[in-house]
Amino acid sequence: MLAQLPPLITPEDTFTEYAYFSSYSSSWVDHAERFVDESVRRLGLGADSFVAEVASNDGYLLQHVVARGIRCLGIEPAANVGAVARDRGVPTLTAFLDAEAGAKVRADHGPADLVVANNVYAHIPDVIGFTQGLRELVADDGWVSIEVQHLLSLVRDNQYDTIYHEHFQYYTVASAQRALSTGGLTVVDVEVLPTHGGSIRVWARPDAAAGQPTERLREVLADEQAAGLHDLSGHQGFGERVAGVRRDLLRFLIAAADQGKTVIGYGAPGKGNTLLNHCGIRSDLVRYTVDRNPYKHGRFTPGTRIPIHAPERIAQDRPDYVLVLPWNLRDELVDQLKYVGQWGGRLVFPIPELEIVEVTP
């Protein structure tokens, strides 16, 4: 069973010019570097290898492949983001992946020993065409590595803010198996990761080269089955828990306003817009938010019209509370924002449940 949204917007609407630059999250760049190191060891990649990444963004991952002297190519539909990757020395093609584009890359560059698709498999309305593109890219004895948020953690931990129009699908390992099979790819292994509040890294190969699945693949499938996510039973009660998140956050914000306390936001991620709009939060409750990405400065959060400023604004204004919208980067942001404790400010995490955190500078 595949959880999904209807394609209310096109990929061209979202990704032709894109506001998300992966490298502004230092923990995500570190995660990518560890993945490259592990993949080089696991697959024996070297100077004669070829690595392709789909939705390669600003070169956050492939820069580590370039540094190891391994030939690579990024395939990134957003021209503005791909230009940043090329500036840092990462070869990048501006294109959306489908079977035709995959075949062209293979003809021009050869088959890839490793195809990486991090946080993109959920962004594709044409799953079959995209999957066929992955198969065109990968060598007959190669590997495909896909990272995507795990539906198990989304449902269990009330991560409903991840549900928005840019994300068309929400995967279990079981549904990822079915989707990849449409392109002749077999899932042979899976890793459970803490990124984005709980993700899976699926390892797949062309059917003829797949071999036997690993024990941990069978274990994760069993966990999903036990949670009721292979049918409808595991989704019951999710809506009421989401409503509880909304009520708790609004109670806190209204009480803070009544007490004359100042609340500002940290981050302007896509997931934050789901939360802000669902809760009806405006600048009377959260005066503004800040983001490390200069592309967003001087703009407003969609729908709620909360101003977006540079992070330096926090130290200038010394707010009582900082509402952390990219809660999935908790460890990184607690460390970045510990200076808020200098004036007694505290951090607020809305998901999986409301939590107010004191920080020590």
pTM summary value: 0.91
∠ CA 30-33-34, rounded to 5°: 90
Instruction: Reply yes or no on whether the pLDDT at 45 is more than 90.
Output: yes
Instruction: Give residue 347's pLDDT band: very low, low, confident or very high (50, 70, 90).
Output: very high
Torsion angle defined by CA atoms of residues 136, 137, 142 and 143, in that order, rounded to the nearest 10 degrees: -110
Please tell me whether the peptide bond between 352 and the residue prior to it is cis, using omega within 30 degrees of 0. yes
Q: Is the Cα dihedral 10, 13, 19, 23 positive or negative?
A: positive
Average pLDDT of span 327-344? 95
pLDDT digits 0-9 by tens, 123-138: 998 999 999 999 999 9
Cα–Cα distance between 276 and 50 in angstroms, integer? 42
pLDDT digits 0-9 by tens, 238-262: 999 999 999 999 999 999 999 999 9
Residue 163 main-chain phi, psi, to 5 deg: -85, 105
What does the pLDDT read at residue 225? Answer: 97
What does the pLDDT read at residue 25? Answer: 85
Close Cβ partners of 335 (under 8 Å, ≥ 6 residues apart): none
How far is residue 68 CA from its own chain's centroid?
Answer: 25
Residue 137 has, within 13 A of its CA and on its CB side, a CA count of 31
Cα–Cα distance between 300 and 344 in angstroms, integer? 28
Give me the CATH topology for the region 3-235: Rossmann fold (3.40.50)
Instruction: Give residue 23's pLDDT band: very low, low, confident or very high (50, 70, 90).
Output: confident
Residue type at position 176: A
Token readout for 13 is 């609407």
Q: 3-235 with 238-358: one CATH topology?
A: yes
The radius of gyration of the chain's CA atoms, rounded to the nearest angstrom, is 21
Q: Which of 37, 27, 21 is nearest to 88 (CA)?
A: 21
What does the pLDDT read at residue 361? Answer: 87
What does the pLDDT read at residue 15? Answer: 67
Question: Which residue matches tokens 């590997």?
Answer: 143
According to CATH, the superfamily of the domain at 238-358 is: NAD(P)-binding Rossmann-like Domain (3.40.50.720)
Other CB atoms within 10 Å distance of the CB of residue 189: 18
What does the pLDDT read at residue 24? Answer: 79
Q: Are 136 and 102 contacting, i.e. CB atoms less than 8 angstroms apart?
A: yes
Q: What percent of the chain has pLDDT over 70?
A: 98
Cα–Cα separations (whole angstroms), residue 342 to 327, 345, 358: 22, 7, 11
Instruction: Reply yes or no on whether the pLDDT at 165 is more than 90.
Output: no
Q: Are 202 and 186 contacting, i.e. CB atoms less than 8 angstroms apart?
A: no
What does the pLDDT read at residue 51? Answer: 98
pLDDT digits 0-9 by tens, 308-326: 999 999 999 999 999 999 9
Instruction: Reply yes or no on whether the pLDDT at 354 is more than 90.
Output: yes
Instruction: Give residue 95's pLDDT band: very low, low, confident or very high (50, 70, 90).
Output: very high
Instruction: Reply yes or no on whether the pLDDT at 18 is more than 70.
Output: no
What does the pLDDT read at residue 16? Answer: 67
Cα–Cα separations (whole angstroms), residue 307 to 192, 298, 349: 36, 7, 20
Cα–Cα distance between 140 and 171 in angstroms, integer? 25
Average pLDDT of the chain is 95
Domain range summary for the chain, segments of one domain joined by +: 3-235, 238-358
